[in-house]
Amino acid sequence: SQQGEEDPQALSIQEGENATMNCSYKTSINNLQWYRQNSGRGLVHLILIRSNEREKHSGRLRVTLDTSKKSSSLLITASRAADTASYFCATASKETSGSRLTFGEGTQLTVNP
Amino acid sequence: GAVVSQHPSWVICKSGTSVKIECRSLDFQATTMFWYRQFPKQSLMLMATSNEGSKATYEQGVEKDKFLINHASLTLSTLTVTSAHPEDSSFYICSALGGRVNQPQHFGDGTRLSIL
């Protein structure tokens, strides 16, 4: 079963705006990862944040992690039409095999040109 | 970056056919490979975890005799859907992981399986 919950389920914005997606989880984690999936394709890894980290940046992406609230957010700044995709958070739990990931339900982002 | 190749990308076949899907890590050794199933507009559901040289670990509710997994080398894992039926139609995705901790999984491009 999927332990992660993401909100919103769908987000539609204009090009140039920022997009924020949130993820909550239930167990203690080793790390939390964000992936992007274009329609009909595999997943592309975006950022991995470890349980002892609070914030991480990569280009236009910013990820935060609050282990006390068991939540994470992904911020995409200055969005582009090419950012249109589904975004998933995934957690590597301390309670199961460290490499096994549990995925959230995903956020469908549409960036309108 | 790490590349995972998954073949075929699309399969259409008759009910009762067995279908083999390959997952290869092209530029790294994958100690662990994972197989996922994804229904339209839904998230990924882990089917099984495959370690090189050992039997796969299946998730609850996944029939191991239906979904045969072989991980014969550090760069290749295969998933065979035996005697496929229309309800097996789905998007199947593999991922691979090297031996280091706190590393992301690297995903193939998925296989769209349609059983008529």
Q: Rounded distance, CA A100 to CA B21, Å?
A: 21
Q: Do B104 and A33 touch (CB under 8 A)?
A: yes
| % of chain B beyond a pLDDT of 70 | 98
Torsion angle of alpha carbons A15, A17, A18, A23, nearest 10°? Answer: -70
Q: What is the pLDDT of residues A86-102, one digit of tens each?
A: 999 999 987 765 578 99
Is the pLDDT at B85 greater than 90, yes or no? Answer: yes
Give the list of residues 6+ apart from residue B10 with CB closer than 8 angstroms, or none.
Answer: B111, B112, B114
Of A42-46, A66-70, B69-73, B78-82, give the lowest mean pLDDT range. B69-73
B5 touching chain A per CB within 8 A: no
Task: Return mean pLDDT, chain B.
Answer: 92
Of A8-12, A56-60, B12-16, B99-103, give the lowest mean pLDDT range. B99-103
B114 touching chain A per CB within 8 A: no
Q: Which of B44, B46, B45, B48 is nearest to B56 (CA)?
A: B48
Q: What pLDDT does residue A21 have?
A: 96
Q: Do B46 and A43 touch (CB under 8 A)?
A: no
Q: Rounded distance, CA B56 to CA B34, Å?
A: 9
Q: What pLDDT does residue A100 have?
A: 86
Tell me the β-bridge partners of A102: A91
- Assess whether the previous peptide bond of B86 is cis (omega < 30° from 0): no
Give the list of residues 6+ apart from residue A80 with CB closer than 8 angstroms, or none.
Answer: A15, A111
Q: What pLDDT does residue A2 have?
A: 36
Q: What pLDDT does residue A1 have?
A: 32
A99 touching chain B per CB within 8 A: yes
Interface test with B, best of A32, A47, A86, A101 (most B CBs within 10 A): A101
Of A15-24, A28-37, B30-39, B98-107, give the lowest mean pLDDT range. B98-107
Q: Out of B43, B91, B102, whose CB is closest to A48?
A: B102
Question: What do you get for the CA distance between the two ends of chain A, in Å?
Answer: 36
Q: Which burial class, exposed, middle or buried, applies to A60 when counting CB atoms under 10 A from its CB (0-12, 13-18, 19+)?
A: middle
Q: Do B44 and A48 touch (CB under 8 A)?
A: no
Q: Out of B4, B34, B43, whose CB is closest to A105?
A: B43
Q: Do B43 and A106 touch (CB under 8 A)?
A: yes
Q: Which residues of B touch A92 (CB under 8 A)?
A: 102
Q: Which residues of B touch A48 (CB under 8 A)?
A: 102-104
Interface test with A, best of B44, B91, B92 (most A CBs within 10 A): B44
**Beta carbons of A95 and A64 less than 8 angstroms apart:** no
**Parts of chain A with a pLDDT under 50:** 1-2
Region B97-116: mean pLDDT is 89
Is the pLDDT at B17 greater than 70, yes or no? Answer: yes
B28 touching chain A per CB within 8 A: no
